[in-house]
Amino acid sequence: MLAWTVYISFIGVVALMLLPASQARRARGVALLAALFGLAVGVVGVVTRATGMQTVVRKPWIPDLGISFYLGADGISLTLVLLTGLAAVVGILFSWNIETRAKEFFAFYLALIGGVYGVFLSFDLFLLFVFYELAIIPKYFLIAIWGSTNREYGAMKLALYSFVGSAMVLVGIISAYVVAGGKTMNLLELAQFPFPIAFQHWAFPLVFIGFAILAGIWPFHTWAPTGHVAAPTAASMLLAGVVMKLGAYGALRVAMTLFPQGLVFWRNEIALLAVIGIVYGAMVALVQKDFKFVIGYSSVSHMGFVLLGLVTINSIGLNGAVLQMFSHGIIAGLLFAVVGRMVYDRTHTRDLTVLEGMNLSKALPFAAGTFAVAAFASMGLPGFSGFAAELQVLIGAWSAFPTFAVLAGFGILVGVAYTLRVLQKSFFGEPVPDAEHAPHPLPPISIPERIGAVILLAATVVVGLFPNLLLTMIDDGFKTHLFDAVLRNGGAS
């Protein structure tokens, strides 16, 4: 049944292409319907889940090469499917006002969503790769056509970085396939295969970094701020919220399970890169003049926590990493929604100095309140999902890399600083009495925007107060056979 998340997205694409042109209203309605359906399927999947891994669809595809159409779900997949569902629905709500070529916009949007669902549910490496690549094309067009600042450059940079990463992954996957006898692309079977240690020493970093480029690992992260800034709101929400998680997920699902000894060999270096990402991302965010760039760099910083959690290789850290994937997905969605849709679409500026003089807290109180809550959630304030996630990552990090744990703590502090700075400048600045720029009243926040914001806010608060709702699922996911070797090699429980 979970496969329907993928199917309905692509059916939605086809439906949209068949719509008569320039019917914006119909287009967004169709898209919303598809996204809601996907979300509903995801929710039902979560509620009716069985322990361990379940096979959803398994049909031979290219039997001679051992490739099958193999979709399955465990706790980790379900968490991310849920995230995708939420992000998809909310993204459409925040794109309710798109008029130019709405049909194509939503078609590309649904194609992206479909690809993402596919990645999260694939247990055949070839299938996973296909979906992974499939997701890159719609991204390019979404940014290049409907984006803003530097959109063609941003789109191209993003696509190129993604392709380079995918190329690295492809080389790794094919080598693994060959070394394991060239018989199967089934992830579970391949994970059982004892790859030679020497092979793992180069295959692991190739595949891990290849995926992690999309997760924004330092120093291969530079596509992210540019791409996010260039993208239209819904696209940046999806990019930061979900697509970056594709990279982290791939690193976890493929690189770590196939090459557990390689992971142990390289974990300190990766942890170092992760921590640099956390601190560097935060420090750069602190000096940005463009509102969206602050959020873009903050994504790099938060994803650093995910990567750090992944390489702690103990169950608390790993759980924290996946929880952070979910949490940051929601929070990034909120932040980009406010910056892009609520503020930029109305004020047509993202320059913090100009915004500071606009006293937006009076003009857009709902946006101010939403951003304030989102900012505190982003800072990792307890009561919101980010705290629970970062807490676990840090506990896990204490076990594996105590020094990095302390550095990550420092990163949190810089996070507080840049978040407070941007909150202050964007909404709570001193109004500048400027006769030239007499502000014309800004259009109020529309109903779809409010609904979207409330959904995301509720999600982060609920998960913040009751993280067990997701943690039991996630923990369960890590207890499957797939992760046996990973956790055993990690040495700690």
C-beta of 380 vs 448, nearer to another protein: 380
Q: Taking the complex as a whole, how short is the minimal distance between the CB of residue 90 and another protein, in angstroms?
A: 23
Q: Taking the complex as a whole, how short is the minimal distance between the CB of residue 272 and another protein, in angstroms?
A: 16
C-beta of 19 vs 391, nearer to another protein: 391
Q: Please name the residue that has the structure tokens 């791939």.
A: 250
CB under 8 A: which stretch of 48-56, 275-283, 439-447, 468-476 binds another protein? 468-476
Q: What CA–CA distance (Å, rounded) separates 46 from 5?
A: 13
Q: Is 376 in the site for another protein (CB under 8 A)?
A: yes
C-beta of 174 vs 283, nearer to another protein: 283
Dig out the tokens for 73 from the structure: 């779900």
Q: Taking the complex as a whole, how short is the minimal distance between the CB of residue 402 and another protein, in angstroms?
A: 5
C-beta of 167 vs 413, nearer to another protein: 413
Q: Taking the complex as a whole, how short is the minimal distance between the CB of residue 397 and another protein, in angstroms?
A: 9
According to CB under 8 A, which one of 398, 431, 462, 484 is a site residue for another protein? Answer: 398
C-beta of 222 vs 468, nearer to another protein: 468
Q: What CA–CA distance (Å, rounded) separates 287 from 141?
A: 30
Angle at 245 (CA atoms; ends 38, 485), nearest 5 degrees = 105
CB under 8 A: which stretch of 6-14, 221-229, 399-407, 447-455 binds another protein? 399-407
Q: How far is CA 100 from CA 20, 96, 110, 440, in A?
A: 14, 12, 17, 25
Q: Is 181 in the site for another protein (CB under 8 A)?
A: no
Q: Is 487 in the site for another protein (CB under 8 A)?
A: no
C-beta of 166 vs 319, nearer to another protein: 319
Q: Taking the complex as a whole, how short is the minimal distance between the CB of residue 416 and another protein, in angstroms?
A: 5
The pattern of x and - marking residues 425 through 444 that bind another protein according to CB under 8 A reads ---x-x--------------
The pattern of x and - marking residues 311 through 350 that bind another protein according to CB under 8 A reads -----x--x-------------------------------
Residues 133-152 that bind another protein (CB under 8 A): none
Q: Please name the residue that has the structure tokens 């096979």.
A: 55
Q: Is 409 in the site for another protein (CB under 8 A)?
A: yes
Q: Taking the complex as a whole, how short is the minimal distance between the CB of residue 394 and another protein, in angstroms?
A: 5
CB under 8 A: which stretch of 89-97, 149-157, 376-384, 483-491 binds another protein? 376-384
Q: What CA–CA distance (Å, rounded) separates 491 from 313?
A: 8
**Count of CB atoms situated within 10 Å of the CB of 197:** 11
CB under 8 A: which stretch of 6-14, 162-170, 199-207, 380-388 binds another protein? 380-388
Q: Taking the complex as a whole, how short is the minimal distance between the CB of residue 84 and another protein, in angstroms?
A: 25
Q: Taking the complex as a whole, how short is the minimal distance between the CB of residue 371 and another protein, in angstroms?
A: 13
> Cis ω on the peptide bond leading into residue 219 (within 30° of 0)?
yes
Q: What CA–CA distance (Å, rounded) separates 80 from 14?
A: 25
Judge contact between 27 and 16, C-beta under 8 A. Answer: yes
Q: What CA–CA distance (Å, rounded) separates 358 from 434?
A: 10
Q: Taking the complex as a whole, how short is the minimal distance between the CB of residue 198 and another protein, in angstroms?
A: 29
Chain positions contacting another protein, by CB under 8 A: 316, 319, 372, 376, 381-383, 387-388, 391-392, 394-395, 398-399, 402-403, 405-406, 409, 412-413, 416-417, 420, 424, 428, 430, 467-468, 471, 475
